[in-house]
């Protein structure tokens, strides 16, 4: 998982097993950010549609912007105004594409997670240096 700012600059990266739900990995990712300032908004895909996650992030002062799933039973919590910001999600996808320019990250060759995490951080560093 990767956390980026509004321009697509990587701020944090986290490597975890594929078996736990993505919803459980969002808060630890926010804890690994480089900047002290916490984000005002977090734009994510439908995988983060959880009312409990929204409440926990709201206590931290972070607004979660993600579309609701089709099979949602509870009433919607977001109106169309906040979902207009979801159009900017392409910047996150672009950042992921920048990281996939490094062939070592496309296929995970490393057996140990800490080695792969090191290569992810190195790719983030190269991405940041290329931008400035």
> pLDDT at position 116, please?
92
- CATH number of the domain enclosing 31: 3.30.420
- The pTM (predicted TM-score) of the whole model is 0.79
Closest to 95 (Cα-Cα) out of 126, 64, 57 = 126
By residue range, what is the domain housing residue 51?
Answer: 2-131
- The model's pLDDT over 33-62, given as tens digits with 9 standing for 90+, comes to 888 888 888 888 888 888 889 899 999 999
Could you give the CA distance from residue 93 to residue 96 in angstroms, rounded to a whole number?
A: 5
Tokens of 82: 């906040």
- The model's pLDDT over 72-121, given as tens digits with 9 standing for 90+, comes to 777 777 777 777 888 888 988 999 999 999 988 988 888 898 999 999 99
CB atoms within 10 A of CB 29: 18
Count up the domains in the chain and report the number.
1
- Contact partners, residue 33, CB within 8 Å, separation at least 6: 3, 11, 12, 39
Closest to 4 (Cα-Cα) out of 36, 29, 27, 24 = 29
């Amino acid at each position: 998982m990767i956390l980026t700012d509004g321009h697509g600059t990587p701020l944090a990266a986290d490597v975890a097993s594929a078996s736990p739900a993505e919803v459980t990995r969002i808060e630890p990712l926010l804890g690994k950010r480089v900047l002290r300032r916490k984000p005002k908004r977090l734009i994510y895909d439908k995988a983060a549609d959880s009312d409990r996650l929204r409440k926990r992030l709201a206590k931290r002062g972070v607004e979660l912007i993600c579309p609701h799933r089709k099979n949602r039973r509870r009433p919607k919590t977001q109106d169309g105004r906040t979902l207009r910001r979801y159009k900017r999600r392409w910047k996150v996808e672009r950042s992921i594409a920048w990281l996939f320019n490094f062939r070592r990250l496309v296929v995970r060759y490393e057996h140990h997670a800490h080695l792969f995490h090191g290569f992810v951080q190195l790719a983030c560093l190269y991405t940041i240096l290329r931008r400035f």
